[in-house]
Structure 1
Amino acid sequence: MDETPVLVDRRPDFWVLTLNRPQRLNSFTQAMHVALMKALDEAEAQGCRALLITGAGRGFCAGQDLSDPIAKGDLGDTIERYYNPLLRKLRNLPFPTVAGVNGVAAGAGANIAFACDIVLAAKSANFTQAFAKIGLVPDSGGTWLLPRLAGSARARGLALLAEPLSAEKAESWGLIWKAVDDDKLIAEAEKICTQFGSGPTFGLAQIKRALDAAETNDFATQLDLERDLQRAAGRSPDYAEGVKAFMEKRAPVFTGRER
C-alpha cells in the first residue's frame, strides 16, 4: 500500500491534489481511491474555492492498476464502490475544478480529467480510452462525456480503436480547454485556480449546475432553471459586492458565500 497516494496542498485560494504513484504512472489502487475521496470530502467541508488535480512524475493517471485486488473479481462492484462515487463527487463539487494533465491520461485517468471543469494539458500529454485493448467498456463517465465533448463519431473512434489522442488534437476537438508548453502547465493551471479561488464561488457553482443540466434539459426547462439559479445568485453577497465594485470602479472582493 502506498504511504501517501494523494498529496494535498492547501493554499489560501485553492487546493492542489497530486496523484502520487509516479512509479506506476499514478494508476489507481484501493488506497488511492480512499485517499482521493477523503481529500475531496475535506475540500468541500473546509470551504475550498477551487481545486487543481495533477499527477506526480511523468504521468497524470494511467487508470486502474491491474495488479491491485480491486481490478479482479466483480468489476461492476469495483465501479459501484469506488469509481462512480468518485466521479459523482468530483462532478458535483460546489466550486470549479481544474485538471493539469502533465503526461499520459489513460482509461479512468482520461475520464477523470474530462470530468473536471477546466482541462489543461501539457503538449507532450495524451489521452487514451484504453478499455477496448483489454475487452472492457469505458467507465468513469467516459461513455457520457466523450459524445458530448467530441461528438458521436469521434467518441466511437476513441472508444473502439483505443488510439492515443495528443493534447493538441484534444484541444482542437474540443475535449479540453487548452494544450500548453510542458514547462508552463502548472503555472497556467495555478493562475486559473487563483482566479477561481478569489472569484464569486457561489455564482460559479450555479454556472456549473446550469451547464450540466443543459445536457439533458429541453429549452423551456433550461430557461426555468436559469431563472431559478439567477434568483439565488442575485441574492448572494458576491453579486452585491460585484455591483458595488463596478459602480465604484474598483476590483471586487468576493467571499464566495451563498448568504
Structure 2
Amino acid sequence: MLRTEIAERVAVVTLDRPERLNALSWELMNRLRKEFESLGARADVGAIVLTGAGRAFSAGADLRDFAASEDLPAEVAHHLAATMAPLAEVVQALPLPLVAAVNGPCAGGAVGLALLADVVIAARSAYFLLPQVVPLGGVPDLGATWVLGRVVGRARAMGMSLTGERVPAERAERWGMIWRCVDDAELRDQALATARGLAAAPAAVVATRALLDAGFAATLRDQLDFEARHQSARFADPAVAAVVERFAAAGDRPGTRR
C-alpha cells in the first residue's frame, strides 16, 4: 500500500496500489500522513520524493470506501475532517522539502496532494484531472481549492474544476501549475536530483515555503517583516555564514560563476 526507500538523505515514498491506480483509500491517507510525520523527525532524511507505482500517480479517492458506507454524508464529513485535512496540513507543514514526481494520471484529491508539494515534476504522459464536480457532482478536496487558484489563477482553476477536463503535463508546465515536465524515462532521475539538492538546505526550503504561502494574504509591510525574521534566522546558522564567507572571499555571487 505504501513503500519507502531511503538513500543519500532522500526518502522516496511510493503509493503502492497499482491494481487500483494508487487510489487514496482512507487507510492509505492515514498511513501516508503517519509516514510523513515519521520521516520529518528523522535526522538521516533531508528531503522526500512522493510518486506512484505502476502507470498512475493516483486516481484520487477510492470510491469503494464511499460505496461501502451506510451513511455516506456522515462518513464523508468525518473523513474530510479526520483523514484528508490532517494529511493536507502535515504535507503543507512538513519540516522537509517535498518533491512530487507525477508519473501518470493524477486525479481528484491526488491533485491537491501533488500541488501541495514544494516542487512538482511530471512525466510527459501524465495529466491532471478534477472529476469531483463533473461527473461526480461533488467539489474538489484535499486542499485543491486552496492551492490551485494560487498556482494557475482563478479562471484556469475554475475551468479545470468545473469542466473536469484533463490538463496534460505539458500544459500544466505552461500554466505554471508544475515546475517541470520531463520525458517519462527521466522523471525519477530528475526528481531524485532535485530532492538531493534541496536536502542540502531543508530549513531554507521550509522557510521559503512559509514566506511564499504567507505572501498571498500579507500586506507588503507584513511580508517584509516576515522576510526579515526568517532571513535573520537563516544567517544565524553557521553553515549559511560559512557559505557567505566563501563567496565573499572569492568575489563571486551565487549563480554568477561561469
Structure 1 and Structure 2 fold alike (TM over 0.5): yes
Determine the C-alpha separation between the residues in 1 that align with 2:198 and 2:231.
Answer: 19
The Cα RMSD (Å) is: 1.4
Question: Quick check: 1:200–1:238 contact (8 Å CA) kept in 2?
Answer: no
User: Counterpart in 1 of 2:56?
Assistant: 59
Q: CA deviation at 1:244?
A: 3.4
Determine the C-alpha separation between the residues in 1 that align with 2:68 and 2:195.
Answer: 33
* Identity within the alignment, %: 35
Is 74-83 or 100-109 further displaced after alignment?
74-83
Amino acid at match of 1:94: P
User: Counterpart in 1 of 2:111?
Assistant: 110
Is 234-243 or 217-226 further displaced after alignment?
234-243
User: Counterpart in 2 of 1:151?
Assistant: 153
Q: CA deviation at 1:248?
A: 5.7
The answer for unaligned runs of 5 or more in structure 1 is 250-259
State the SS of the aligned residue for 1:130: coil
Q: CA deviation at 1:71?
A: 7.4
Question: Quick check: 2:30–2:87 contact (8 Å CA) kept in 1?
Answer: no
User: Counterpart in 2 of 1:37?
Assistant: 33
User: Counterpart in 2 of 1:203?
Assistant: 204
Q: CA deviation at 1:70?
A: 8.7
Question: Quick check: 1:71–1:78 contact (8 Å CA) kept in 2?
Answer: no
Determine the C-alpha separation between the residues in 2 that align with 1:241 and 1:79.
Answer: 45
Question: Quick check: 2:173–2:180 contact (8 Å CA) kept in 1?
Answer: yes
Determine the C-alpha separation between the residues in 2 that align with 1:7 and 1:71.
Answer: 26
User: Counterpart in 1 of 2:3?
Assistant: 7
Question: Quick check: 2:58–2:105 contact (8 Å CA) kept in 1?
Answer: yes
- 1:100 corresponds to 2:96: no
User: Counterpart in 2 of 1:185?
Assistant: 187
User: Counterpart in 1 of 2:254?
Assistant: none
Amino acid at match of 2:155: A
- The change in CA–CA distance for 1:44 and 1:162 in structure 2 (over 3 A counts) is same
- 1:214 corresponds to 2:215: yes
State the SS of the aligned residue for 2:57: strand
User: Counterpart in 1 of 2:238?
Assistant: 237
User: Counterpart in 2 of 1:254?
Assistant: none
- 1:175 corresponds to 2:177: yes
- The change in CA–CA distance for 1:244 and 1:71 in structure 2 (over 3 A counts) is farther
State the SS of the aligned residue for 1:23: helix
Moved over 6 A (4+): none
Q: CA deviation at 1:179?
A: 0.6
Q: CA deviation at 1:69?
A: 5.3
User: Counterpart in 2 of 1:252?
Assistant: none
Per-residue deviation, residues 208-240 of structure 1 (Å, max 9, x unmatched): 111111111111110110111111111012212
| Aligned counterpart in structure 2 of residue 50 of structure 1, from 47, 50, 53 | 47
Question: Quick check: 2:15–2:22 contact (8 Å CA) kept in 1?
Answer: yes
Question: Quick check: 1:125–1:167 contact (8 Å CA) kept in 2?
Answer: yes
| Aligned counterpart in structure 2 of residue 27 of structure 1, from 20, 23, 27 | 23
User: Counterpart in 1 of 2:87?
Assistant: 86
| Number of aligned positions between the proteins | 244
Amino acid at match of 2:105: V
User: Counterpart in 2 of 1:119?
Assistant: 120
Amino acid at match of 1:246: F
Question: Quick check: 1:70–1:78 contact (8 Å CA) kept in 2?
Answer: no
Q: CA deviation at 1:204?
A: 1.9
Amino acid at match of 2:174: S
Q: CA deviation at 1:245?
A: 3.3
User: Counterpart in 1 of 2:14?
Assistant: 18
Question: Quick check: 1:59–1:102 contact (8 Å CA) kept in 2?
Answer: yes
The answer for unaligned runs of 5 or more in structure 2 is 251-258
- The change in CA–CA distance for 1:11 and 1:143 in structure 2 (over 3 A counts) is same
Question: Quick check: 1:91–1:115 contact (8 Å CA) kept in 2?
Answer: yes
Q: CA deviation at 1:30?
A: 2.3
Amino acid at match of 2:60: G
Determine the C-alpha separation between the residues in 2 that align with 1:124 and 1:242.
Answer: 39
Per-residue deviation, residues 14-40 of structure 1 (Å, max 9, x unmatched): 111000000101001122122211210
State the SS of the aligned residue for 1:67: helix
Per-residue deviation, residues 181-213 of structure 1 (Å, max 9, x unmatched): 01101111011011112x222222211111111
Q: CA deviation at 1:105?
A: 0.2
